[in-house]
Each structure stands twice: as structure tokens, then as C-alpha cells.
């Protein structure tokens, strides 16, 4: 090998060896830059808040210092009853702009000793009422006249459709029934029986006769008696009925073993069987353990 090729090889090896360190240094530099930007942002926001507080204090101090002059200006007849004069009145302690005119003039109405005064409605209330009128006109025009926006029913339907698409896109869709076939091997059914006795017998009985849960040996089913429907019930449970979801506690194969064992109990007629519940279905093909 020539010296130039050897040098190139050594340089390439050095670059490969240094790549992780360079990548780590780049990540560290990026993190440092992000921290610096965050620190600068908080500094700017804090400075802005302090400047605004100082400005407000200066405005309050200026108004307090000029209050005698403002009062003289407010008392002028040409200023006192104008809208701008009422705004000026807020600075000198007159809240007519917010509270309205309080005349306390007694009207001729007298009901069971209850007297009525002639006072203005508070302006803030009237302005709020006018705002609701403007909003109502805009709402009716937008939703009912131009039909630009969706009403509640259409919006709900669109959101439900989007949610259904999102759920269907997931590999673990509770609305999608699997296409398994019942297991028939004795070893599989034995494993299913062991799992059933440990997890299911307290509610369904050791022989599937039904206790808190329904009878699993008759032809009646609450959520379907085909193996994939039984598998789905085991996997996702039944909300509000006491049937817990075994997803995450049992593997997919174990849940299929239990479902297959449950179907093997069809027609066994155990003692003290619970009365039928649900809809009658054609009996599943017998799965015998031998």
C-alpha cells in the first residue's frame, strides 16, 4: 500500500471514530443554543413587564398630581355633560360613565308600599346588551343565512366521523372483529382451562355455569357466541357490566385459548346453571378435549 493510500485510510478511520463525538458535540451545542434563546426570551418578557409597570405608576402619579386642573376642566359646562367629559370624570372620581345617572326621582308608581325611582340603567349593562344584539345578528347571518358555519348536529357528526377514522387507523381497533378460528388441540384447550379457572371461574363458575357473570354453557349470548366475538369480549371487556378487559394482562394467544375453551363448554349442562341471558344462537361446533 502506498503512503498516500495509508494516509487516506488513517484519516477516514479517524473521522469515523470522531463522528459520535462530533454528533454529541452538535447535540450539546443545539441544546445550549435553545437554552440561551429561552433565557433571552424570559429576560425580554420580564423587562417588558417592568417597563409597563413603571409606565403605569408614572401615569397614576401624573393624574394624581394634575387632579385639581382636571377637576376644573371637568366642571366646565361645555365639558361636563359630554361623553369625553364622562371619561375625564373617571379620573377625578365621578363614575357616571360606568354607573349611569342616579337621580333618585320618585315616579308615580306605588305598589304595596314599593316605590319606583327613575334611574338610568348602568351603561356597562346597556353596552353589554347592545353587544349581544350585534353578536346575535352576526351569528344568525353566519350560521343560518349564509350557512357558512356548521351547526351543532353537523359539527358533531363530522367530529364523530373523524374519530372513527382515527380509531380505524390504529392496529388495535375495538370495533374490528378478528378472524381467528377456535383452537382444537388438547394442549391449547388445557392451557385455556387453566387460565379460565384462575381468572374467569370466580365470576362464571368453575364449570361455566354462571355466577355473577352469565352462563357460558347454554346457547344464549349477550355479546356473541362465535369465537371472535368471545375473544373480543375477553379482550376489551364490557363497560358497566363488571366484565373487565384482559388486554394487557393476557397475551393474544392466551385470550384465544380461553375463548376456545369457553366454546368447548357448550352443551355440558353443569349443575346449578344460571338461567339463560341474551340472544339465542346456533350452537358452535363442539370442541372436545381428549
Angle CA 115–121–125, to nearest 5:
140
pLDDT of 289 > 70? The answer is no
- The pTM of this model reads 0.43
75/129 Cα distance (integer angstroms):
31
Within 10 angstroms of residue 26's Cβ, the number of other Cβ atoms is 10
Contact 99, 121 (CB under 8 A): no
What would the mean pLDDT of 150-154 be, rounded to a whole number? Answer: 88
Residue 128: exposed, middle, or buried by beta-carbon count in 10 A (0-12, 13-18, 19+)? exposed
Q: Count Cβ atoms within 10 A of the Cβ of residue 80 and give its class: 0-12 exposed, 13-18 middle, 19 or more buried.
A: middle
Domain ranges of the chain: 68-99, 105-145, 186-280
CA angle 102, 106, 111 (to 5 degrees): 125
Question: Which residues lie closer than 8 Å to 26 by C-beta, 6 or more apart?
Answer: none
Of 47 and 38, which is predicted with more confidence? 47
Task: Answer yes or no: is pLDDT of 30 > 80.
Answer: no
What is the overall mean pLDDT for the chain?
81
Q: Which CATH superfamily is domain 186-280 in?
A: Cytochrome c-like domain (1.10.760.10)
CA pair distance 265, 201, nearest whole angstrom: 13
231: cell is 375473544
pLDDT (tens digit, 9 = 90+) per residue, 76-130? 877 777 767 777 777 777 777 676 666 667 777 777 878 787 777 888 888 899 9
Q: Pseudo-torsion of CA 255, 256, 259, 263, nearest 10°? A: -160
**How far apart are the two ends of the chain, measured CA to CA in Å?**
73
pLDDT of amino acid 288: 39
Strands 114-118 and 220-221: unpaired
pLDDT at 196 over 90: yes
Strands (E), the chain: 105-111, 114-118, 220-221, 279-280
Which residue did the predictor score with more confidence, 18 or 236? Answer: 236
Amino acid at each position: 500500500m502506498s503512503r498516500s493510500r495509508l494516509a487516506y485510510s488513517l484519516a477516514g478511520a479517524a473521522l469515523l471514530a470522531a463522528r459520535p463525538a462530533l454528533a454529541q458535540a452538535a447535540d450539546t451545542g443545539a441544546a445550549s443554543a435553545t437554552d440561551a434563546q429561552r433565557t433571552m426570551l424570559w429576560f425580554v418578557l420580564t423587562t417588558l413587564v417592568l417597563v409597563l409597570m413603571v409606565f403605569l405608576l408614572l401615569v397614576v402619579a401624573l393624574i394624581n398630581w394634575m387632579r385639581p386642573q382636571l377637576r376644573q376642566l371637568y366642571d366646565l359646562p361645555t365639558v361636563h355633560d359630554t361623553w369625553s367629559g364622562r371619561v375625564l370624570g373617571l379620573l377625578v372620581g365621578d363614575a357616571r360613565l360606568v354607573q349611569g345617572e342616579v337621580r333618585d326621582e320618585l315616579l308615580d308608581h306605588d305598589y304595596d308600599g314599593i316605590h319606583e325611582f327613575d334611574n338610568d340603567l348602568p351603561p356597562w349593562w346597556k353596552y353589554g346588551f347592545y353587544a349581544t344584539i350585534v353578536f346575535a345578528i352576526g351569528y344568525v347571518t353566519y350560521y343560518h343565512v349564509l350557512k357558512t358555519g356548521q351547526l351543532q348536529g353537523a359539527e358533531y357528526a363530522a367530529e364523530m366521523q373523524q374519530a372513527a377514522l382515527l380509531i380505524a387507523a390504529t392496529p388495535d381497533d375495538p370495533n374490528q372483529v378478528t378472524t381467528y378460528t377456535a383452537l382444537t388441540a388438547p394442549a391449547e384447550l388445557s392451557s385455556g382451562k387453566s387460565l379460565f379457572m384462575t381468572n374467569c371461574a370466580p365470576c362464571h363458575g368453575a364449570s361455566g355455569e354462571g355466577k355473577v357473570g352469565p352462563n357460558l354453557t347454554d346457547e344464549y349470548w349477550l355479546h356473541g357466541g362465535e369465537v371472535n366475538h368471545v375473544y373480543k369480549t375477553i379482550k376489551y371487556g364490557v363497560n358497566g357490566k363488571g366484565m373487565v378487559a384482559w388486554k394487557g394482562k393476557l397475551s393474544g394467544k392466551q385470550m384465544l385459548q380461553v375463548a376456545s375453551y369457553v366454546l368447548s363448554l357448550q352443551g355440558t349442562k353443569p349443575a346449578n346453571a344460571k338461567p339463560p341471558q341474551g340472544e339465542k344462537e346456533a350452537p358452535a361446533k363442539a370442541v372436545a378435549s381428549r
